[in-house]
Structure 1
């Protein structure tokens, strides 16, 4: 199964999405700040022999979901204005939980508030996993936090760890309480050893400035690590020779770059 997430920054991007979805190819797509025409995207995909469906929004208006599965096969689970959880079929696993997130920007909320939303999401996922008796879960989206920030790493919040060997333990005990973990493979894409150097570029005259950020991430439960290959995960900066970055390598079509990964 192939996944795409992109914060499209309210741009008209259907032509690029059509190329991405067909060429990669994609099975499940989550979009944030999408303001193009979803029906036109479905028509454009149909012309490319890609039959996709739009999953109706309910309570979370910040995320748009397209899949190869008809909406009646997708079961809604808890959601908030900042995230939506869906039970979605998987060709090999039978089904899995996919949480799509677009957490508030630091321009609107402080890091503690963003972390609190992650805490609510984590609890909702854990309750959904108990209901389904399955931990085959992933979270994908725009967290508006880097992988190393407290909201992503703290046991109370995202509790997403860079080491798959550590995460395979499943949980950690802190002050007699167990905290479940996620594997965050996006740590592997930090730095300039590969291009692009992140998903979001921000420059400001302040003392602490990371310049490149990885706000767009996927978190994976320990039970799915064996189904994930790090080499299949990409930050996309080009499709069919259409550049998604400018001459300096910074995001141009949108202020975010899309991420792509597979869960087999």
Structure 2
């Protein structure tokens, strides 16, 4: 199945571009953050292209808009907060995928403690859903507002997401008698690759510590999905049907969005 995530930065005229994006990548699951265009209009435009994607509603989480090839009767709803939603969706080969979609608070507007608490809540809810559904085919994707190397992404008390497949496949470790399960983060593989931009979000601050390019938009997976994750198809998208998402300076064109879309596939 083909997945797309994009923070569309409140662009109210993004639907035509989204149709081209969905069509180009044969998208079956589309998650959007900060989407403020008309989802019904988007579905009508997709219908004209003979593409059927169904809008999956959320109750608490208004930060994420989800469309899938499965109608809402086939989707099971998991826990939600204002910043994340968890859905259990079908998969042709794996039976089920536990899909967590996030738009975490920005570090510019929230303290570290707030982000940490949200991640702890997310992990607790995911573990409960995994237990209740007797599978760990879990994906977390979205705008984390964190880079892969930051403490909250790596630490056992956070998402515990590693860049090493071999270690991740051990699935867990024990610290002071407590068990912490791993996620695997394939986004590390995109750092420094010449065929990709420097990240998904560019910010030039006046601080002494300035990364410029950040990979805030990520996908992380449980080790159970590593063999099904198509590493070669993981992609930060910079062009849609001839339209460049980067400006003349080679950074995201804010007239479209300040974030770049992310594509990945679970076989």
Task: Using structure 2 for the length normalisation, give the TM-score.
Answer: 0.97
Counterpart in 2 of 1:115? 116
**What is the match of residue 30 of structure 1?**
31
Q: Find the residue that maps to 2:119 and give its secondary structure.
A: helix
Residue 183 of structure 1 contacts residue 221 of structure 1 at CA under 8 Å; is this kept in 2? yes
How far the C-alpha of 1:193 sits from its partner, in A, is 3.1
Q: Between Structure 1 and Structure 2, how many residues are aligned? A: 264
CA RMSD of aligned residues (A): 0.9
Instruction: Please give the alpha-carbon distance, in whole angstroms, between the structure 1 residues aligned to 2:249 and 2:231.
Output: 26
Deviations 1:132-164 (A, max 9, x none): 110011000000000000110110111100011
CA displacement 1:144-195 (0-9 Å, x = unmatched): 0000001101101111000111100000111121100100001111225332
* CA deviations over 1:194-215 (Å, ceiling 9, x no partner): 3211000000111000000000
Q: What is the deviation of 1:122?
A: 0.6
Check conservation: 1:199, 1:256, Cα contact below 8 A. yes
1:44-64 deviations in Å (ceiling 9; x for gaps): 001111011111121111100
Q: Distance in 2 between matches of 1:204 and 1:183?
A: 30
Measured in 2, the distance between the counterparts of 1:194 and 1:209 equals 23
How far apart are the structure 2 equivalents of 1:103 and 1:49? 34
Question: Take 1:33 and 1:222, find their aligned partners in 2: how far apart are those partners?
Answer: 29
Partner of 1:225: 226
User: What is the alpha-carbon distance in structure 2 between the residues aligned to residue 132 and residue 93 of structure 1?
Assistant: 13
Contact 1:97/1:138, CA 8 A, preserved across alignment: yes
Residue 42 of structure 1: aligned partner: 43
Return the alpha-carbon distance in structure 2 between the equivalents of residues 192 and 129 of structure 1. 34
2:4 match: 4
Aligned residue number for residue 259 of structure 2: 256
Aligned to 1:60: 61
Q: Cα offset for 1:33?
A: 0.3
Equivalent in the alignment of 1:243 = 244
d(CA) in 2 for partners of 1:189, 1:173: 30
Separation (CA, whole Å) in 1 of partners of 2:195 and 2:206: 26
1:72-101 per-position Cα deviation (integer Å, ceiling 9, x unaligned): 110100010000000001111111100000
Aligned residues of 2:119 and 2:158 also touching (Cα < 8 A):
yes
- In 2, the alpha carbon distance for the partners of 1:207 and 1:233 equals 32
Structure 1: give runs of 5+ residues left out of the alignment. Answer: none
CA contact (8 A) 2:142 2:217 kept: yes
SS at match of 2:40: helix
CA contact (8 A) 1:115 1:152 kept: no
Unaligned 5+ runs, structure 2: none
Whether 1:212 aligns to 2:213 is yes
